Structure 1
């Protein structure tokens, strides 16, 4: 009898252990899970002077409409804007079970160095916050500026003479510039030469002075003329428009006055000669 009772106790214990190992099922609940904030590309690489554009999708899986406030934690000096249906927005209304597309545009700060920048982006509603981490890989940039040391782009010259114009080439990018050459567009028969005629390398932030010699032909009429000086290499180009005022020489002026006086004298002579008849 006692052995039977022991067997029953053992069987009952095995049943309890077996039942405890079975998975428990809870009643199904609508928790609103499934809302998402995604982007087709999380990492974009571009030069510092371009806009980084990310295409994102915001999904509302809850049973009610949600208004999501949009924000971003961009680096100092960066500009981050959100656009939906062609308009700039700061929030987005998403109906139950629907998705909305938006564009996230990032403009790096001026002079941002080459690096990978991580920008957290958030969509915050009353009861949830959805986040993305976007990566902007800033490449080095090529930028060239041609001007004068003083910034003045005008001068004077006498016809038949040469004018020396001091130009300045600046590397305003973040990468070195190689093999910079110079050229010009001038009025007919004008000529320009450059010294030096080429710059082999110009590092970021550096500048080099270049002397442009402009030859003005004889008998050029007095007035204002324009020359376009260009500095360029394979990656960048810059043009400076220089206005030159041409004046006639003293000798030309005296010759002109002499011609006028001779013409007046000849007319006076004719009047006296034929006026007596």
Structure 2
């Protein structure tokens, strides 16, 4: 295997270990409770406002563009209405409180106070120093935020930076592949490796009819078969898209270097396993159904 392939494979492996330490908050009551205390709806409004808050008091257009796979009508029902209820600054403080409560519950005091937690936070922050702002709106907005002092929150912040950096690149890769946000969701759901179609439709605002129409378009392109499963062409397109995403996401791990990247992967994977065992990602949310 050549050096470039090793780099992209390593980047993806580290991403899969670190990213759940950010995304766990979206499944957690602490996050919803913290934002509800500000007067926000516990459903899509909390998610959209919480993730968009680093951008400031933006409207629906900017969020639909950067988030990519939400129905614009759903976004427009929530933003800018959320900013009439509270402020981005208050939301940022609340989401950090939610992350704190979530990680304390799932990982426990000993893990949070461990040397391994402080080490992982330092490694993840160093990796994030290699991220690039240009063309990465969600990463760049989060990069303007202050790094929290407590190691577990510094790790959550760094995981957010790395996750949004890769996500911004993934949006570019999906555009190259000619997939709109809904088509990308339907294609990903066909793998059975993401949350269920019912959850995706509810949280992203897609109707059954729109979801079905996107499936028809993917079948017309030869990417799905009649049963809604990936064809060989669909599998190949997904592989090409992920490979391009990998290539666009090597900079943080080049910055960190192979040995430190392997160590971060090891540490983050261990924390993620503890969180999963504590029920962080309920199994019933996942699958094609």
Question: What range describes the TM-score normalised by the shorter chain of this pair?
Answer: under 0.3
Q: Give the greater-gyration-radius structure (CA).
A: 1
Q: When the two structures are superposed, what TM-score results if normalisation uses the length of structure 2?
A: 0.19
Q: When the two structures are superposed, what TM-score results if normalisation uses the length of structure 1?
A: 0.19
Which one has a larger percent strand, Structure 1 or Structure 2? 1
Which one has a larger percent helix, Structure 1 or Structure 2? 2
Q: Which has the higher contact order (CA 8 A, sep 6+)?
A: 2
